Amino acid sequence: RVGDFDIVGPLGKGTFGVVLEGRTTNSGQWWSVKQDRVAIKTLEKKRCCRSPARTKLTLNEMKMHKLLMGTASGEHSNLVHVRDMMQSHTHVYVVMSMGACDLTQYTNTTRKRNFLHQTRADKEICKGVLKGLETMHSYFKAAHMDVKMENVLIK
C-alpha cells in the first residue's frame, strides 16, 4: 500500500526503481471506475542519490512532476497527469494517471488491423508525442530524457 493506493502488481522497471499498478480504494472496496487505475513510480532514494549527477537528475525529475501536478489534467493532454507525490524514509513515490496501454502493447495488438486505418492512427500518435515533447520544451523548459515506446501511453 502506498498512501491511499493499493498495489496491484508491477508494470515495469527502470534505472532507479519500478513502476507499479495501483488502484484507489473506498473503505476497502475496489472502485469500478477506470480512472482509478494509477501508475506508481517508485524510486529508491539510495539508488537515486549515489552521486551528485544522479541526485541532480532525480531532483530535476521531481521538479517536473511537481510542475505537472500544478496544472489541470486537460491543460496538457499529451502529458501524463501527476496525481500525487509522497515519500518514505527509503522511497519517493509519484502517482500518475494510467493509460489503457503503452505504445509497445498497442502496436503488438493492432498489427493485424486495416492498414489505412492503422496509418491514420499512427499519425495521430506521432502528433501527440510531438505535441507533448513540444509542451515540455516550450512550457516547462525541459527535455524528456527517456523517450521510448513503453513511455508513450495510449488512452
What one-character DSSP code corresponds to residue 34? G
Coil, helix or strand at residue 71: coil
- The stretch 88-112 carries a mean pLDDT of 84
Q: Which amino acid appears at position 41 of this protein? A: K
Q: Are 47 and 111 in the same domain? A: no
Q: Are 114 and 89 in the same domain? A: no
Q: Are 13 and 28 in the same domain? A: yes
d(CA 125, CA 151): 13
Residue 73: pLDDT over 60:
no
* Number of domains making up the chain: 2
Of the residues 72, 98, 124, which one is the last residue of a structural domain?
Answer: 98
Any bridge partners for residue 42, and if so which?
18, 93
Q: Are 33 and 68 in the same domain? A: yes
d(CA 11, CA 133): 23
pLDDT tens, position by position, 8-64: 889 888 777 888 888 886 645 444 444 477 888 888 888 877 888 888 877 787 787
Range of the structural domain that residue 90 is part of: 1-98
Q: Are 51 and 71 in the same domain? A: yes
Domain CATH number, residue 84: 3.30.200.20
Q: Are 74 and 103 in the same domain? A: no
Write out the three cell numbers for 81.
497527469
Q: Are 59 and 83 in the same domain? A: yes
Q: Are 2 and 63 in the same domain? A: yes
Q: Check the annotation: does 41 bind a ligand.
A: yes
Q: Are 143 and 94 in the same domain? A: no
pLDDT of residue 110: 74
Which of the four pLDDT bands, split at 50, 70 and 90, describes residue 75? low
Write out the three cell numbers for 128.
501527440
Q: Are 119 and 63 in the same domain? A: no
